[in-house]
Amino acid sequence: MASVKLNNIKKRFGNVDVLHGIDLDIKDGEFVVLIGESGCGKSTLLRLLSGLEDISEGDLYIDDERVNGRSPAKRGIAMVFQSYALYPHMNVFKNMAFGLKISGKDKSHVNEKVIEAAKKLKIDHLLDRLPRELSGGQRQRVAIGRAIVRDPKVFLFDEPLSNLDASLRVQTRVELGKLHQELKATIIYVTHDQVEAMTLGDKIVVMNKGRVEQVGAPLDLYHHPKTQFVAAFIGSPKMNFLQGKVQQADSENSQVVLESGRVIRASIDTSSLNEGDTVQLGLRPEHIALNCSENTFEGTVTLIEHLGELSYLYVDVGQEGELVLKVNGDNQHQAGDRIQFGIKPNYLYLFDHEGKALTRINAHQSPSIPL
């Protein structure tokens, strides 16, 4: 296994800049998840790492060796694509064995590796089948198996589970997590799925338009996003934002006045701001509570979505707009109901006019739902 270091990596297609200077330090055995909006450069970054695409500027190191010019086959990297990219005319065994065979490994070694990987992935009973005779989940495992047999130093996964149905996705996610623990492999994994990112990643890299917006452990990003962009990206349903102005700037007990004149108290350090400065208040749906009498709001339920264990309430609070609340699944409210709710000062987030987060004081550390 290996460490990976990216030093000011840039990518240009013609005169279009796609990656603007990516710095990343990935430790040996780390599971790193890349997330970001469609088109922000995640797949491009993986293709640069694998060698499928040339790096325009910057340095890429694998285990402290600069590998910019090295061919894909010699980088010790295996990539698993969303589309599986299996050879349709080869059975599972041959698909998994192909890479090893062309690299000149002897037959008994190839057999051993393929069977070992197939057992690990629970596809050892499918070795004679063609890809078209497999389900999506089975095909994806063959693609992962094909990567495993090569004993790569680094695995790259580009949205590997997005073609699977919901339950298979969960199952394969759990298996991938276990596989990582077993192989202790360095993994760089792209996904659009919140839960995959939060559960699989030792570290999440949030990308924004070809730049790294923030890197951190999943809960670190959840509790302490550095920008409004990251705050909006981590968490589902996403954080509610309300525009306001600083009414009282303070190092821990700040007050923000909303457009309706409502004053909100927030345990946030606004000492760098001035009274009257425009800010965005952030309220996570899971932190707004029906039985909370601090920072209260009143509004009309416009929609309730039942997910079973939980429900989402969409509430029109008048001039400030709509807020989404995450409540207990046995909640009986219906569209049209008037409700009251609140949020504690140390559950709030605050962002300045440039979207930079202000420091949260005594921020709660438990993501539990105050129902």
Ligand X SMILES: Nc1ncnc2c1ncn2[C@@H]1O[C@H](COP(=O)(O)OP(=O)(O)OP(=O)(O)O)[C@@H](O)[C@H]1O
Task: Report the interface residues with Mg ion, using CB under 5 A.
Answer: 43
Residue 202 Cβ vs Mg ion, minimum distance, rounded to whole Å: 21
Closer by beta carbon to ligand X, 144 or else 205: 205
Q: Which does 13 bind (CB under 5 to 8 A by kind): Mg ion, ligand X, none?
A: ligand X
38 binds ligand X (CB under 6 A): yes
Total residues at interface with ligand X (CB under 6 A): 11
Q: How many residues does the chain have?
A: 371
Residue 193 in tokens: 């799925």
54 binds ligand X (CB under 6 A): no
Residue 79 Cβ vs Mg ion, minimum distance, rounded to whole Å: 12
Cβ distance 221 to 234 under 8 Å?
A: yes
191 binds ligand X (CB under 6 A): no
- Residue whose CB is nearest to Mg ion in the complex, by number: 43
Q: 3-state SS of 254-320?
A: EEEEECCCCEEEEEECCCCCCCCCEEEEEECHHHCECCCCCCCEEEEEEEEEECCCEEEEEEECHHH
40 binds ligand X (CB under 6 A): yes
Closer by beta carbon to Mg ion, 40 or else 55: 40
- Alpha helices by DSSP H, listed for 81-208, are 92-102, 107-120, 136-148, 166-183, 194-200
Footprint of ligand X on 231-290 (CB under 6 A): none
Out of 13, 65, 83, 305, point to the residue binding ligand X (CB under 6 A): 13
Out of 1, 5, 6, 41, point to the residue binding ligand X (CB under 6 A): 41
39 binds ligand X (CB under 6 A): yes
Residue 30 Cβ vs Mg ion, minimum distance, rounded to whole Å: 21
Cβ distance 52 to 158 under 8 Å?
A: no
Cα Rg of the chain, angstroms = 24
Question: What is d(CA 162, CA 123) in angstroms, rounded to the nearest whole number?
Answer: 20
Residue 201 Cβ vs ligand X, minimum distance, rounded to whole Å: 16
Question: What is d(CA 280, CA 357) in angstroms, rounded to the nearest whole number?
Answer: 9
Q: How far is CA 122 from CA 23, 35, 139, 179, in A?
A: 37, 29, 12, 12
Which residues, in sequence order, are CB contacts of 98 under 8 Å at separation 6+?
A: 87, 90, 146
Out of 33, 44, 154, 172, point to the residue binding ligand X (CB under 6 A): 44
Residue 47 Cβ vs Mg ion, minimum distance, rounded to whole Å: 9
150 binds ligand X (CB under 6 A): no
Site of interaction with ligand X (CB under 6 A): 13, 16, 18, 36, 38-44
